[in-house]
Homo-oligomer: A and B are copies of this chain.
């Protein structure tokens, strides 16, 4: 099985390393590889260090891998900043010898210097094709099929800009030719196609597109949002496509308004959603409480970034769980989900709409920066097979109808505004009676309504399919994880089990309500329990401790960069 991690670094901008990385990714996918990408961005809009890492394998890949096997440095800064990441045992450095001066110590790495800049400037007469020259070099060195690379370029620019295609093709060929003529391969890395896989129906999307597609598949009617990194791309996709699909996307004046529009639309019967990141979620807290109190279905996607406050806007953290679970004054239980990969981003968004409708509640979906900006080939969803849930409706006119009827399961049928003949009702954020009328002097009724909302949400923990298990039936150690680290955790668990340590992992995608029975069963199957998280305080670990008679340990990381499998492996090894 081939498994190759390539990282490209250079200045963000027109000859960007990001574009190069994207073409490597799409080529690998067409060649039937699984890929896993990881991008970093500079704070500057233009300029600054941008990187794009792609792991490709003709088998399955779950994570970005450990350090890159191949590092391509397009300028000095990228070499200075990234060289320490290159795997020390024989990693390969490809660099622009026109602009990069190497250190004395290569740590046993193989270095290929290529005059990327001068090939682009002199042969192609267009400096900005430097990244395309690099692609030719990579193709020649590691066997990434040049024709497929060229086809990807053709498909991307072809219609709009045939001149660009010609120029880029020339640059790739020049890079390829120079390498074949001048470089003697001294490393053992290589790319392998997987023709079988190439025929499977897949779509290539990043986490943002996956969420948006999921929402569209769930028949989203109204999207309202305010731009924020790394959530904006969801809005951009919907701006483009939602009208075509019969829905409406509105960019509001702020996040409070966005959730206000969403709740208003939901009241009127629409499936509605907003997406934001931490600062926006903080602003939505009052509206969230209203959604819980008024029992309105709504989906709120939070693409988490580094916090607190403006924090690390282009970095990755899973630190908004507390806010999602506890956000809102008073007790306001709601459903909180966390997709773990790009496939989940699509399907869990559909699931979020279903849960929102079924339980008549705001559902928060926690994704993160790494998923929002990571491209992956996932199985094309079978839209015909998607099951959608609609809120329990009161369809017939019934003079005794009560909007907030105190039912056994806490779910009261909804008579939608517009329904003929009423009984008319007004919903309110005040404590109310079964009809919806303010009942602010009746504490017992207020408590009964609190119980209703509480038991309704609590019962959602028995929904199935919101977790995944890895490893053997029993373990010396059990790891509970959540969020985007699943892939790395999966890989670490496989390695450790392969090395003879029995480790199980339970990866949760529903965090509120907490599936306590499931966690109990898992805990019973292991000797020791630890929670793995990408935040400072161990937010899930604290919630588990708060709700259950368990005292798991904690492994955490909070420097804005996802775990590598190696890091997890080392940390887990230390626990057993």
Contacts and interface: CB of A to CB of B under 8 A. Distances in A.
A433 B9 CA distance: 24
Contacts of A309: 286, 289-290, 292-294, 328, 330, 332, 429-430
A418 to B, nearest CB: 24
Copies of this subunit: 2
A294 B312 CA distance: 14
A433 to B, nearest CB: 13
B431 A306 contact: yes
Contact of A307 (B331, B444, B539): B331
A281 interface: yes
Interface stretch (A22-30, A121-129, A216-224, A446-454): A446-454
A331 B547 CA distance: 20
A303 to B, nearest CB: 11
A550 to B, nearest CB: 10
Contacts of A279: 286, 289, 329
B446 A281 contact: no
A325 B277 CA distance: 20
A299 to B, nearest CB: 18
A147 interface: no
Interface string A301-345: 010101111111111010110110111111111000000000000
A426 to B, nearest CB: 13
Contacts of A443: 306, 312, 315, 559-561
Interface string A525-568: 00000000001110100110111010100000011110000000
Given A43-B440, A289-B309, 19 more contacts: A40-B441, A282-B329, A283-B285, A285-B327, A293-B308, A293-B310, A308-B331, A308-B332, A309-B332, A309-B430, A310-B428, A311-B429, A313-B430, A317-B330, A446-B560, A447-B558, A545-B545, A545-B546, A546-B546
11 contacts: A281-B329, A306-B330, A308-B329, A310-B430, A311-B429, A313-B430, A317-B330, A319-B331, A322-B331, A446-B559, A546-B546
Contacts of A561: 443
B329 A431 contact: no
Contacts of A283: 283, 285-286
Contact of A330 (B292, B307, B329): B307
Given A286-B282, A330-B306, A546-B543, A312 B551 contact: no
A43 B441 contact: yes
A73 interface: no
Interface in A262-280: 277-279
A310 B535 contact: no
Interface in A420-462: 428-431, 438, 440-441, 443-444, 446-447, 450, 454
B330 A320 contact: yes
A560 B279 CA distance: 32
A536 B294 contact: no
A280 B328 CA distance: 10
Nearest to A315: B443
A49 interface: yes
Given A329-B307, A329-B320, A546-B542, A312 B446 contact: yes
What are the 3 A-B residue pairs with the smallest beta carbon separation, nearest first?
A307-B330, A278-B329, A443-B559
Interface in A121-152: none
A440 B309 CA distance: 12
A108 interface: no
A246 interface: no
B311 A430 contact: yes
A47 interface: no
Nearest to A447: B559
A42 interface: yes
A555 to B, nearest CB: 14
A286 B317 CA distance: 17
Contacts of A328: 282, 307-309, 323
A430 B308 CA distance: 8
Nearest to A541: B546
Contacts of A312: 430-431, 440, 443, 446
Given A311-B430, A312-B440, A446-B560, A285 B323 contact: yes
A95 B446 CA distance: 30
Contacts of A310: 290, 293, 428-430
